[in-house]
Amino acid sequence: MKHYDKIYIGGEWVTPSTNNIREIVNPTTGEVIATTCQGNAIDVDRAAHAARAAFESFSKSTPVERAEIIDRIIVAYEKRTEEFSQTIAIEAGIPVSSKAQVHGPLDHMQVAKELLLSYPFERRIAETVVRREAVGVTAQISPWNWPIQTPVIKFIYALAAGCTSVVKPSDNSPLCALLLAEVMHEAEVPPGVFNLVVGKGYVVGEAMASHPDIDLISFTGSTGAGARVAETAARTIKRTSLELGGKSANIVLPSADIEKAARWNIQRCFFNTGQSCHAPSRMLVHRDQLEEALGYLADEAAKYVIGDPSDPSTTLGPAANLAQFETIQRYIQSGIDEGARLVCGGTGLPEGLTQGLFVRPTVFADVTPDMAISREEIFGPVLSVITYETVDEALEIANDSIFGLGGYVFGGNPEEDYEVCSALRAGRIAYNGFATNSLTPMGGYKQSGIGRSMGVFGLEEYLEIKSVYGFGEHASSLSSII
């Protein structure tokens, strides 16, 4: 069992200010696999000062110079993909067969690099030069369900913009972030541009949100925690970017291929053991097509191979931690208690398993919009199937939520179906299972968040806008930079 006794500040591995440690438990076996040190507000202050010192010169670096740094990060990261894959399996229960968790970050790095080389940081409007400049020192808090990709997306766009960063991973899955810091060190990212402080959210995260020398905070996690981050950040008028909870609806229109829609819904909803904020955890089906859909849903759910995430044949790992496992179990029981029909799954461990935080893939029918399993984010492999009579009713049910992160539509008449997609109040809508990509923005409506990540919109989250007046007559001499 390894003890990680250092945090990463100013380009060096340093000892934190406390002697506190955190045990990291393998959700498959229940065994303690590692311990990590714990930082505090003093360490956040050290990291913020290192980031501020680095910002003075790094913000003046050219896009080409920053692109070269990203190239070095890509090379260093590619050497460690297998190590990342094994690490997320033992600390977060994510199957090694899940390629998106480990290889997705490479796509985001490449997109950020290419965008950096084409983005117009200066442009002219009439006699005015409008500049986009790095916002400053940024703080980035990432969740346990995407322990590699989320911090990479946050940091790589901050770096592309010319910002410096203080990163805090989830206290439940810090090992991937510690490995990511090793990648940054090997890639020779300039000292102070990337800093990592591990520790509890209410200690380290609170210190980051309130620190006067941090200009922007980017947070991914629960809506409740995000509200706390925003409230704390407001005291120093800090820029805030939040990606929060979701309860995404998949409207299956009568013209849709019911089998395709049902099988895709299970695959997308139960991906990552359902621990995905964009999961289509509500499936809306026309009343006349319910039973047909349920047959396909149950059949697809039964295909999962549940077991050790380190085994390449496993397709569904355990819940990431005990608290989340217990939450999922409570929601499944609440669905039963409120009268929903259990199509498959249920409470307790899957058949044949006697240990680990494994959840039975669960589908409920006869769910009404007022039930807890229909309204609240479960964050597990649990699907609520709701029926409707008209498309207007389906849209009303789908939009009747405090969340608005993702939405999905399946249908057979694209022109009509586009109107349904447009009427959904959410930041990302996929039609007929079409895949998302790394170029386009991600973010939410309503209580699902503020701001956008990825692509050009993700880059602009980390940029300030400045107008410089009076340069109309000098436009020709500025043409090389505008």
Catalytic: which of 12, 65, 243, 300?
243
Give me the helices (H) in 162-286, please. Answer: 175-186, 206-210, 223-233, 258-269
**Strands of the sheet with 449-450, listed across from one edge:** 12-14, 7-9, 194-196, 164-168, 137-141, 216-220, 239-243, 449-450
Distance of CA 32 to the CA centre of its chain: 26
Is 91 known to be catalytic?
Answer: no
How many Å from the N-terminal Cα to the C-terminal Cα in the chain? 55
* Single-letter residue type at 287: R
Could you please report the per-residue DSSP string of 369-388?
A: TTSHHHHS---SSEEEEEEE
Helix ranges restricted to H, 79-186: 81-92, 99-118, 149-161, 175-186
Helix H or strand E encompassing 42: helix 41-58
What b-and-e string marks burial along 409-436, b requiring 16 or more CB atoms within 10 Å of the CB?
bbbeeeeebeebbebbbbbbbbebbeee
- For the purposes of burial, counting CB atoms within 10 Å of the CB of 186, is it exposed (0-12), middle (13-18) or buried (19 or more)? middle
CA distances from 260 to 132, 237, 256 (A): 45, 48, 8
| Residue indicated by tokens 């498309």 | 391
d(CA 21, CA 404) in angstroms, rounded, equals 37
Query: Catalytic positions, please?
Result: 243
